[in-house]
Amino acid sequence: MLFIIFLSAFITRSTVCHDSSALLDEPPSRSSAYRFFFQTLPNDRDGYLNCGGFDTQWRVNGGKCGVCGDPYNGARDNELPYGKYTKDLMVTRTYKSGTTIYAKVHMIKNNGGHFEFRLCPATALLNNATIRQEPHNWVQEVTDQCLDSHRLEVLGSTDGNRWCWPIPDRQQQGVIYQIKVKLPQGLRCERCVFQWTWVTADNYGWCSDGSWKLGCGPQTTHKACADVQII
């Protein structure tokens, strides 16, 4: 019986799953900032910051992922202090504390699921000039714990969960989703890390109610980080 379930899950995954891909356009992420004319190192794989892929994330790393979408057990190219896409780190947007902003996600290959957004004041409060002039290798990356303590409220979520934005139609390809997100009142920073997470619906798995459905259980996960100022 277990063999039949495993075989069924494998076949389902092999027929449903494809290479999901998306970009965090607003605010522009570290790997995608060059697309918006920032003088940063281009990353032509910026749509595939997927924790190293399903097998690496779940079978090798037990579900763990780098803060900005890199493999947990691999090179942290999108993280401070040594990531190659952080050497020309730029604050790409400035917002006002407590305001509502539009996050934009460019969906290239849609696999359904939902988005989440988090924020963390950086450990080093630097402006762009300081970042360019000072050696960057002493600046530390923010932690998952800090990001989890500043989950951003999603306005207008269709499923009633104010922390998640469900993707409305997995058949839509090449679209740009605009999501209204509320910034915390009173939180200000010279540099905050804005994190986007996309939990796809690649695979079938066991749901909390005991049913077996697409989108339940472990899924391919994408993350991206942008550096913003909040005044």
- Tens of pLDDT along 21-74? 999 999 999 999 999 999 999 999 999 999 999 999 999 999 999 999 999 999
Which residues lie closer than 8 Å to 28 by C-beta, 6 or more apart? Answer: 35, 36, 38, 92, 93, 226
Strands 176-182 and 153-154: antiparallel
CATH number (3.40.50.620, 3.30.360.10, 3.40.50.150, 2.70.50.50) of 2-230 reads 2.70.50.50
Which residues lie closer than 8 Å to 130 by C-beta, 6 or more apart? Answer: none
CA distance 17 to 90: 35
The pLDDT of 143-172, averaged and rounded, is 88
On whether the CB atoms of residues 33 and 41 are closer than 8 A, the answer is no
- Tens of pLDDT along 68-121? 999 999 999 999 999 999 998 999 999 999 999 999 999 999 999 999 999 999
Closest CA to 196 of 18, 29, 19: 29
On whether the CB atoms of residues 215 and 113 are closer than 8 A, the answer is yes
Q: In sequence order, what are the beta bridge partners of 154? A: 181
